Chains A and B, each alone.
Chain A
Amino acid sequence: MLVAAAFAGSLAFIVILALYLRSKPILDTKPLSELLLNSSWLPSQGSFGLYPAILSTLYVTAIAMMIAVPLSILSAIYLAEYAKESLRRRVLPLVDLLAGIPPVVYGVWGVLTIVPFVAYIAPVVGSLGIPAAGAGRYSTGFSLLAGGIVLAIMVFPVIISITVQVFRSVPFEVREASLSMGATQWQTVKHALMRVALPGIAAAVILGFSRALGETMAVLMVVGNVFIVPSSVFDPAYPLPALIANNYGEMMSIPLYDSALLLAALILLLIILMFTLAARLILIRIERRVTVG
């Protein structure tokens, strides 16, 4: 039993160690700064610049968060503070259901609806002259924006379910105190509850962010996979997970190729572990507060 627990507890370290050992060959031959900041990805010529992929990952995640964070938090506040028990009990399982849908299905859905939608709006929005939303190239719809929208929907359940729990964990006295001073319900949420719930909301957002950062298949299917530094949300992109998924397994003939891809995996993992760790520590604090207070 203890062996099983020890194995499970050290799994994270095993994975990190293995990835590190395998990405060491490329770290030994090239400075990390070159790998991270160079934007030419020509494995056959020994050039492994991950910059466009890192940027693509950040962009697509940022778009997803811009859509998901306000929608999820507003929904969560409604569910936690406004909705009747019966509505809450009906909607929360639906949110869980959303979390259970496989990424590939989201990908199919994205290809069927979001991609044509983006292709349709790209010329219209592109002509408005909004920065970072120009349509310089012809957009097929397979783009950062499509990836961002699909990701946003995948992130909803993560942020909503945690935020609802965080709000429910705020002691009832806080609400009573605020309401008895004549505050409206929204004022109570904004001034009293938010103050208590903010770290928890931050944790929810961080967990959603990490989920989005590592999501592979759904994004891969709608984001276009062109290795460029995207300049508009209508441009295709090539995030790190997609890069690994598309190229790993067939890179054995080119020296250092697998090492470069595993370095990409390691970077991804370390970033996500850092964020998740921070979020978890916040949530553990909140849990303690609830059990103690």
Chain B
Amino acid sequence: MGVEMDTKEAAVELTEAENELYDRQIRLWGLESQKRLRTAKILIAGLCGLGAEITKNIILSGVNSVKLLDNKPVTEADFCSQFLAARESLNTNRAEASLVRARALNPMVDISADREPLKEKTAEFFDQFDVVVVNGETNEELLRIDTICRELGVKFIATDVWGTFGFYFASLQKHSYVEDVIKHKIVSNPDKKKKYETVSIPTQREVDYPAYSVWLDFDITAPSYLRKLKRNGPGVLLLSVLQKFRSTHQRDPNYKTRAADLKLLRGIRDELLPNSALSDEALGTIFAQISPAVAVVGGVVAQEVIKVVTKMEAPHRNLFVFDPETCAGYFETIEAK
């Protein structure tokens, strides 16, 4: 990369088997990145469909270890997207049920399951990891974990998918990375046509990613934000409604009580932001976790984890929204006032 980086991880050469297996990705992100991936320890908390997608992508990339944490059982709804748990594993622990298929994805990665509740995990536990990814949790719990992770210097990503709608929030603290800055050089020849040449210059950057609390304090009804909301669609608003639903009812909207929950959702929407652009139709697509949408969000989150671990390219800062209506994926930069 040409730029000085801390290279303690990079000392060990990849084996021939690793070179072969990871050939196509080494050609994209380079040997150094692959070596960094090999040392990374990742926690995935919440083995719903989204957890399974992230787990799959992270394991395939060739990290050192992945811990799957979940105290919930496999449910019928999981069969909409949780492909790591077999049909027969219904009602058994979701993390443990995911182990066999997760391991088959890449025998070179150390994969383990933990069935204790996330709530009971303390700083000592989170300190084992380089990156912590949590999904399906309430704002209160996310805030607690974020605070712990920031004290430890562990990178934290909170993410969720409801139906086909999804988001993540990246709390990466001070993150330094290298990105190739592309410059255009005009190679002029007086007698010839102008030629353009691109030169890529690896550039070291350091960016501060705010804490999760900044999102909780963020006022989506602020007039300054309304214009943006109009431009990008109601994604952020939908996120607020769904998070409010979760903290109020201590659960997510359920397809079994579809009609009643839709009514509750409309109520929250009208209370949070009357006359908003958030349509009833959009509220009708937030049940369970729908496989293709989970694949998109899980792919994006995993790519962010890979960026964080390899310290290559800028992780999006800092709130990602996937709009299932248009398939647009964008981020908002949420900062403290």
Interaction A to B = no
